Chains A and B, each alone.
Chain A
Amino acid sequence: MSEALVGLQAAPQFEPKIVAFFCNWCTYLAADLAGTSRIKYAPNTRVVRVMCSGRIDPQFVLEAFARGADGVLIGGCHPGDCHYQEGNYKCLRRFHLLQRMLGTLGLEEARFRLEWISAAEADRLKLAVNDMVAKVRALGPLRWSVPAENLAEEVAAS
């Protein structure tokens, strides 16, 4: 199916919501370039702009999952190309440990993704987004089930 039709599925189909943290100098610019080039991709991402992928606090990732995101995508500069020298390496270090921890907590790997996308790689952005959306769509809604919300249910069920 052409990428232009991604997202144009029959009405009741689940559409994942993906919070994307893009670094200002690489991935955010690649997303802008996709725009100026009119490259079409799935409309499921919601971009939160940061200056560097090194700014991404694991708390942000957890906040996104806890508040309803079905997936979280981090976009940063390629290793060696960080506008601030090394921020992306710190992001990489945190990503590995965080992904392991989230795995223990039951999060499927496909829902939390790190991509290195440079400012010129609009096409790569499109492919990464479309691929992630397809994979997360197949996994279904995350629905972490924040316990405070179903305390009453738990009490009633007991």
Chain B
Amino acid sequence: MAEKQISGDVRIGVYVCHCGTNIAGIIDVKEVAEYAATLPGVVVSREYKYMCSDPGQELIKQDIRDHNLTRIVVAACSPTLHEATFRKATERGGLNPYYFQMVNVREQDSWVHVDKRAATDKALDLVRAAVRRVPKHRPLERREVAIHPDVLVVGGGIAGIHAALTLANAGKKVYLVERQPTIGGHMAQFDKTFPTLDCAACILTPKMTAVKAHPNITLWTLAEVAQIDGYVGNFTVRVRHKPRFVIEGLCVGCMECIEACVFKQAKVPDEFNAGLSKRKPVYLSFPQAVPLVPVIDPETCIEFKTGKCKKTCIEVCGERNAIDLNMKERLEEIQVGTIILATGFKTFDPHRLPYYGYGTYPNVYTALEVERLVNASGPTGGEIVLRDGKKPKTVGIVHCIGSRDENTNRWCSRVCCMYSLKLAHLIKEKTEAEIYNFYIDMRTPGKTFEEFYNRIGEEGVKFVRGKVADVYPADSDGQLILRVEDTLLSRVRKIPVDMVVLAVGLEGQPDAQDVRRMFNITCSNEGWFLERHPKLAPVNTFTDGIFLAGCCQGPKDIPDSVAQAGAAASEALALIDRGSIELEPNTAYIVEEECSGCKTCIPLCPYTAITFNADTKKAFINEVLCKGCGTCVASCPSGTIRQNLFEDEEIVEEIQGVLAYV
């Protein structure tokens, strides 16, 4: 072992945290602290129960003063949790905060290993590595960048709407970008919402009109984000406006163009009604659409397809001249400081499970389709009328379609049990039919959800605990047989029904991967946008300045979506009101007199932070654009580019340290 030498300006304090028994239960913290005391440069070495506590941090500050420490090492949990905490403590003790190095002996040691000797040996190696690294640290300053006060909200469902209103009410300018012709999202398609059976439109539409009317909200529908550059506080966003072919500012919402369209009969499957009815090429998604302006679908409008339409719509619009068939797609660039993603979900496509008969038998429906059936402004005026015109006398609602299923999606979609109960109630109310709910478990955890479940049971809805295995037609009379193992009776039952409702689960949007790449955030394996921490940071992402709200982060109901939207808005507000943010100083830099101008680095930076200065004939890194990945550092063939916080010599000390190389 090397002799202990204390060189004048390197005086290291080492702190080994017990974290209660989280670390101390497996790792011999005393041994680690005693070992650290023998390492070159270490002046103080302690073990302590909870380093992140106030007294723990006080210990660091006190020791810096009492022992003239110049470097601090803390062996505890993951740096993602408390590196910032201990850097602050180091700073308050009077040292540059980057004279600190953290060692992860909890998440990556005591929590994942069983053998105490091996876990302790690992901790010894890691602490030794940090003690070797930290003397090489240089005093770094954090860069401060201003936060642009405007906010971009992507997605105009209930989550996006709520976030936008919250921010607008706080006086911030909000761009709400929605790709559909109207805001409202999936909630606009629902009839009643559980467990209160509020009318969805009644509670949603006031918020939608508030969005339209709010002076601080710029509402862009039929719009998508095309490109985004920049970093927290300074995003440059290019929004693609798809042509509506009706000029919003001129349209008065009379809808006569729809009436007058040469299509006397609607022929195009109506997306809002889940394909259960038809619309014309010029249409309004639903009566309370915001903006209340029709849209023309160029895929089905005759004028676009043949150029030979009478254009009765333009004729009837008359001198308002609100229809412009020459409208083009256009790009618009905006500057914002923060972004909230509220892009929602899609429902599981039950075609993937052919044994449920969706698409094969006409009276198999998805829950979303049934929402439209029960809705008064839906395709059947609120009557439950089947595709073959009959009214059902028995209905089977099958839970967990595309949820809790190893063959499709493993997760529980969280809302389906409740909406299945709701639909059971609504269908029964309208038809007096006999309703069966086929479930695996009844998941009703929310406020008054259990009481709702009881009520539905009392209304006479029947519950069968078993996953339906097969749907097939009965021999006669058009009914469908549901074959299910009733696990409480331990019997296989075949139950004939007139109507099958598939409680389809929730999934990430089909273009989630493209969207998240564009915004430089991550997706979880299941296709939901990834939050920074599942418990402590559920609305933040790993990209500063970008927040999540609603189902795009994971399946949830309306109360939770609204709550999360409020949380995301408040995170954005916190940044905006602070006015600036400090960026980690882990940028790359070029020592100019060492650069040979070989240009190896220039094509390697995805942020074009490196340019070639034609006058000096050397490469130049724009610190503001550099994100600190270090790729150029590793590529520089003459070792000229360095990275703050991750210098070659710092990393080499760490490598030699873990291997006990002297």
Do these two chains interact? yes
- Residues of A that sit less than 8 Å from B by CB: 4-5, 7-8, 15, 17, 19, 25-26, 28-29, 31-32, 34-36, 38-41, 43, 46-52, 54-60, 63-64, 67-69, 80-81, 83-87, 90, 94, 118-121
Top 7 A-B pairs, shortest CB-CB distance: A35-B107, A55-B630, A54-B631, A84-B629, A85-B606, A46-B658, A67-B661
> What's the interface size class on B, roughly?
35 or more
Chain A residues with Cβ below 8 Å from B543 are 83
Asked if residues B525 and A121 are in contact (CB atoms below 8 Å), the reply is yes
Contact of B219 with A by CB under 8 A: no
A61 to chain B, nearest CB (A): 9
Which residues of the other chain, A, contact B652 by a CB distance below 8 angstroms?
Answer: 59-60, 63
Q: State the CA gap A69–B658 with chains docked (Å).
A: 9
**Contact A50 B630, beta carbon cutoff 8 Å:** yes
Give bound CA distance, A50 to B629, whole Å.
Answer: 8
Contact A36 B111 (CB under 8 A): yes
- Which residues in window 594-644 of B have CB below 8 A to A? 604, 606-607, 627-631, 633-635, 643
Q: Is there an interface contact between A83 and B520, defined as CB atoms closer than 8 Å?
A: yes
Cα separation A47 to B133 with both chains bound (whole Å):
14
Cβ-defined contact, A55 with B634, below 8 A:
yes
The stretch of B118-126, B341-349, B401-409 that contacts the partner chain:
B118-126
Residue of A54, A55, A58, A121 contacting most chain B CB atoms (<10 Å): A55
Distance of A80 Cα from B520 Cα, bound (Å)? 10
CA gap between A48 and B150 in the complex, in Å: 39
Report chain A residues within 8 Å CB of B659: 17, 19, 46, 64, 67-69
User: Would you give 21 A-B contacts (Cβ < 8 Å), ordered by A?
Assistant: A7-B113, A7-B115, A32-B108, A34-B107, A35-B108, A35-B112, A38-B112, A41-B112, A43-B112, A46-B658, A48-B129, A49-B79, A57-B648, A60-B655, A68-B660, A68-B661, A80-B517, A83-B543, A86-B631, A94-B634, A119-B542
- Bound together, the chains give a CA A86 to CA B121 distance in angstroms of 36
Let me know if B106 is at the binding interface, CB within 8 A: yes
Cα distance, A65 to B654, chains bound together (Å): 14
Q: Which residues of A contact B121 (CB under 8 A)?
A: 43
CB distance from A12 to the nearest CB of B (A): 14
**B129, B643, B658, B660 interface centre (most CB from chain A within 10 Å):** B658
A7 / chain B contacts, CB cutoff of 8 Å? 113-115, 118
A85 to B79, CA, bound (A): 23
Q: How far is the CA of A46 from the CA of B634 in the complex (A)?
A: 21
Known: A57-B633, A63-B655. A25 touches B542 (CB 8 A): yes
B136 vs chain A, min Cβ distance (A): 14
Q: Which residues of A contact B129 (CB under 8 A)?
A: 46, 48
B509 in the interface, Cβ–Cβ < 8 Å? no
Residues from chain B with a CB closer than 8 A to the CB of A54 are: 629-631, 634
